[in-house]
Chain A
Amino acid sequence: MTLAVRGGVSPTRVHEMDAIVVGAGGAGLYAALELKQELGPTARIGVISKLYPSRSHTGAAQGGVCAALGNTEEDHWEWHWFDTVKGGDYLVDQDAAEVMCHDAVETIINLEHLGLPFDRTEDGLINQRRFGGHTRNYGEGPVRRSCFAADRTGHAILQTLFQQCIRREVTFFDEYQVLDLALPEGPGGRVSGVIAMQTATSELHAFRAKAVLFATGGYGKIFKVTSNAHTLTGDGMAIPYRRGLPLEDMEFFQFHPTGMYKLGFLLSEAMRGEGGFLVNDTGERFMERYAPTMKDLASRDVVSRSIYLEIAEGRGIGGSDFVHLDVRHLGAEVLNKKLPDMSGFIRTYFGLEPLTDLVPIQPTAHYAMGGVPTDVDGRVLRDAAGAIVPGFYAAGEVACVSVHGANRLGTNSLLDILVFGRRAGKRMAADLADLPEPAADAEAEVSVQARVRDLLGGTQGERPAVIRAELQETMFTKCGVYRTEQLLTECRDEVAALRERARHLVVDDKGSRYNTDLGEAFELNFLLDCAEATVGSALARRESRGGHAREDFPERDDADWLKHTFIARDPAGGHLSLTYKPVTITKFEPKARTY
């Protein structure tokens, strides 16, 4: 099918596939691998990524992935389940977390079979270490549950899954930026493919398939200081949101305690898991005051808020806006063998020696607990009542199952992408027989062409980077670790004004070859959509829970707020609606959370 060509935009090229996976991180690759294994070598499984697969941000995950293997001490997946629910401040859907923690054991074993280079015990088993929020016997003390490959576990996962996808001859469409969904029956109907721009040529491609999985990762780039890659711009959340589909629990964003000062990227929690601790300006090990049992290994929201309070009360280093991570006592063996990448970061970017120097850290925007609502098989929900969007699936950080509730435990992000990426792949394979043949969404194809043409043709307006920098500053200072009604109201209005300004963007590059200038303009618009959903959800939630801390409503309020937020925008009028879905509680009654 060829559409009219105007303004230098190529006609839409068409690819017919059985199933499409968007995003080539852990969730997308595991799903693709499952699809190939379930459907056999002739199945046309396409993975579309705006990067080369090995560049995906799964590769930046460091410390480990938890599963109750019990290889180094007693452990049970039910304990892991409890920790996940408690860590999520009881906003976790317990049936979903049960699936994740139970499936974890078998999934990790499967990854070993696929070739993952786990560190080993002396007996040759997968080695395990401690990690924040993971406890034995329902909170008694830390437990060794995190399986790891040095301090580059995500890299090992990404490599292993990419390797096996090569072995199974998955079809890769590298450096294609997905810009819209195909909804041939309109916004209320099924998903039938995607529309993407090939970065190398700026050509538009229509991918048609009965089943589409979004596994595009997070949107940390709405914040000024973040651990996230430049490419994490919420594309996979913004695209369905624009078409009127809801996003769940977007107010819950995790700030990781130990971001490298000013740079934002992480020093793994494994540095504390191995015995590192935080100190303030007086040299005090202040986490002992905030979390007497778990101390520096309390959950991330607790540690980040503690750092924020130390800084607010003038005990940041030299009165400034950072504290120190002390790992000097870990010794050369641990720092160089178990934490080599972390030690390298400290040496490269700070010029400091972790064996002798204290390391400046600050909380950094790290992880979206919210996202595209799904069930435990990756099927996307249309509404808070649980209706399914046929043909549409999501897994990984882009999705909200919800297994992380209000705050994700360390290592559970890798577990989420693995368990639910794999389950989504299996489910898609099973559903293909019942899903209707794919069809074109000509309206969406024309609309994407028009957007490309408008951006390339724009001569009056602002650079995307200017608006993006303002957005990141606004979100970091007004919708960050601590929030208030006033800050959030200002933030909402500023985001709305930025959205208005972004209607007139100017890109310098008018060419068709690797026009990354154009790509970044699209990404800015995705970020703005995600920001709108985040601040809109945050403003409504008048309580403090996990990653959403309100100074004006400091207590958790289970009577009114033990429920998930669904935010949606009417594609016609732009009106935002908020609806709520009850939390599924099957075993663990909500209790006050202490560490």
Chain B
Amino acid sequence: MMNVQLRIRRYNPEADDAPHWEEYAVEAEPTDRVLDLLHQVKWYQDGTLTFRRSCAHGVCGSDAMLINGRNRLACEYLVKDAGTEITVEAIRGMDVVKDLLVDMEPFWESFKQTMPFLVNDEIPADGKERRQSPADRERYEDTSRCILCAACTSACPVFWSDQSYVGPAAIVNAHRFIVDSRDTAKQERLEIMADPDGVWRCRTVFNCVEACPRDIKITRAILEVTGEIGKAGIR
């Protein structure tokens, strides 16, 4: 067991004039997740501490937070790596609703704008699966791994300065369908991405790549989308 000092940026607009830092002392095993420490506070010290979480092992995407200055999932970051003084605050560029919980609605709106669904209403004549080669399948392997946690978008300085930018997460999800050989709506998707608030806003700062808990090669996906827009001759 070790003693950890947890500094959390608290803000409840119902009760507080402004965000403020609060400190909590917790005992932790080196293998505890930062999420475990947040639970210790919420369950045994102060039940008003508010954050989202569900699976607690990095697959549901609920608990992206700014921890020790970097976007991470609280359930994937262990005390042995985070140290004995840990700062936690909400991800940036999105309105803080309460403590570590932000307004995700604009994020989902951007996601939905990209037509995040396969379009192909033709069923093969034999009624069986559509054929797809392993190589074609591999093209969207990386981007189909996205868990929509918003760690990338909320780490992007372009997004911080202007939230009308669709952001890296939306582009990742657009990419997943643009390069899927089964999809029939590629042109429409590329036109959406070629919008002034679309893919061209990326300045390849690579913050998103660093922030992604799934290690998705986001900048490469963005470059592939711009390449496809070029090939399609869209301006």
Contact = CB atoms under 8 A, between A and B. Distances in A.
Interface of A: 51-52, 54-57, 59-60, 108-109, 112-115, 117-126, 149-150, 152, 155-156, 159-160, 163-164, 166-167, 200, 229-231, 262-263, 265, 341, 345, 348-351, 463-466, 507-509, 511-517
Nearest to A123: B131
A511 B52 CA distance: 17
A349 B76 CA distance: 8
Contacts of A159: 144
24 contacts: A51-B62, A52-B104, A52-B108, A55-B55, A59-B55, A59-B59, A60-B57, A117-B144, A117-B180, A118-B137, A124-B132, A125-B129, A152-B59, A152-B145, A155-B59, A156-B144, A166-B116, A265-B57, A341-B59, A345-B57, A345-B58, A349-B31, A509-B47, A514-B97
Interface string B157-200: 00000000000000000000100101100000000000000000
Interface stretch (B11-19, B85-93, B226-234): B11-19
A125 B131 contact: yes
A288 to B, nearest CB: 31
- Chain B at the A interface: mostly helix, strand, loop or mixed? loop
B235 interface: no
Contacts of B51: 516
Contacts of A56: 60
Contacts of B47: 463, 507-509, 517
Given A166-B117, A349-B78, A60 B133 contact: no
Given A230-B54, A511-B48, A513-B98, A59 B60 contact: yes
A154 to B, nearest CB: 8
A113 B130 contact: yes
Interface of B: 12-15, 31, 42-44, 46-48, 50-62, 76, 78, 80, 97-98, 101, 104, 108, 112, 115-120, 123, 127-134, 137, 140-141, 144-145, 147-148, 177, 180, 182-183
Contacts of B52: 55
A384 to B, nearest CB: 34
Most A CB contacts (10 A, CB to CB) among B13, B57, B127 go to B57
A333 B183 CA distance: 29
Contact of A120 (B44, B61, B76, B137): B137
A168 to B, nearest CB: 9
B131 A229 contact: no
A164 B50 CA distance: 31
Given A55-B54, A115-B118, A464-B43, 20 more contacts: A52-B108, A54-B147, A59-B59, A60-B57, A113-B123, A113-B130, A118-B129, A120-B133, A122-B133, A124-B132, A124-B133, A125-B129, A152-B145, A155-B59, A163-B116, A166-B112, A231-B54, A265-B57, A349-B31, A507-B47
B87 to A, nearest CB: 21
| Most chain B CB neighbours (cut-off 10 Å) among A117, A166, A200, A511 | A117
B54 A109 contact: no
Contact of B97 (A112, A200, A512): A200
Given A117-B140, A514-B101, A109 B128 contact: yes
> 3 smallest A-B Cβ distances: which pairs?
A115-B118, A508-B47, A465-B43
Contacts of B129: 108-109, 112-113, 118, 125-126
Contact of A511 (B14, B108, B118, B148): B14
A230 B43 CA distance: 13
Contacts of B147: 54, 59, 155
Which among B14, B55, B78, B108 has the highest number of chain A CB atoms within 10 Å?
Answer: B55
A348 B118 contact: no
Given A109-B127, A113-B130, A164-B117, A230 B56 contact: yes
Contact of B117 (A152, A163, A509): A163
Contacts of B116: 163, 166
Contact of A54 (B53, B61, B98, B177): B61
Nearest to A165: B117
B7 to A, nearest CB: 20
Contacts of A262: 31
Contacts of A121: 134
Contacts of A516: 42, 50-51
B98 A229 contact: no
Nearest to A52: B104
Nearest to A232: B54
